[in-house]
Structure formats: C-alpha cells, structure tokens
Amino acid sequence: MERLSIILDTSAYSGFLRGQAELKPILAKADRILLNPIILGELLAGFAMGKNGPANRAYLERFLASSRTGIVAIDGETSERYAAIILYLRLQGTPIPTNDIWIAATAMQFGLKVVTRDAHFLKIPQILVEFITP
C-alpha cells in the first residue's frame, strides 16, 4: 500500500482548526503530516494577532506532538527547487505569494502532496496538490 505524506499549508491547517469537514478524511488517511518553518511562522503570527492565540498555540503543540506530524527543514536543496518554481511562474506570468513558493519547494523536495485551500498552488505543475474548496 502506498504511503501518503502531505504538507498541510497554513490555509488548510486553519480550516482544520475551524473544523472544515473536507479536511478530516484527508488527514485521517495521511501517514505523515508535515509543516515547514514558513507554515509554522505564518501560524504563530496569526495566533499572535488573534483573540484565541494561547489556545490555538496549545492546540498546535498537541497537533505537532503526534507521531504522524513533524516539521521538515528548509535547506539549500529546497532553495534550488524554490528557484526552479519561481522561474517557471515568472515565465508563465503567474506569480504567487513568496511564502507559498517555499511551501511548494518543500513539497517538491520531499515528494509531499500539498493540502491547501489556496487555488494558486494549482499553477505549479511540479507538485501534487489536494485543493480543498474554502
């Protein structure tokens, strides 16, 4: 049986936190659910600006404590993939937010499927995307 490893982008984690039903079966079938430092930073910044910051941060800590979850590093190899993706997007005239290019580069490097509620990930043919309608 094929193992499913995903990277849960910020929009998808937020949807999960709010109980978006479409995300539950995807997360249930994933063997590994990963974040990267970009996603973690976006989440922590959002928590700091929100009214439920301490509770959301505590929930994230419990989420990351699971044996199926983790944070994958960004390194020089990720940067090479970032450069390839950004060049492709610029040539196509379809820029997307910089942080999302880092998320895509991480997915490309580690063979992860991006689970997202942001349609602009669909502009990147170098990655697999599970798009969840917001």
Which tens digits make up the pLDDT trace of 9-66?
999 999 998 899 999 999 999 999 999 999 999 999 999 999 999 999 999 999 999 9
Whole-angstrom CA distances from 21 to 9, 17, 57, 80, 108 are 16, 10, 21, 36, 27
Would you call 129 exposed, middle or buried from its count of C-beta atoms within 10 A (0-12, 13-18, 19+)?
buried
> 22-45 in b/e burial notation, b at 16+ Cβ within 10 A?
ebeebbeebebbbbbebbeebbee
pTM above 0.85, yes or no: yes
Q: Which residue has the tokens 């049986």?
A: 1
Q: Which domains does the chain have, with CATH numbers?
A: 7-131 (3.40.50.1010)
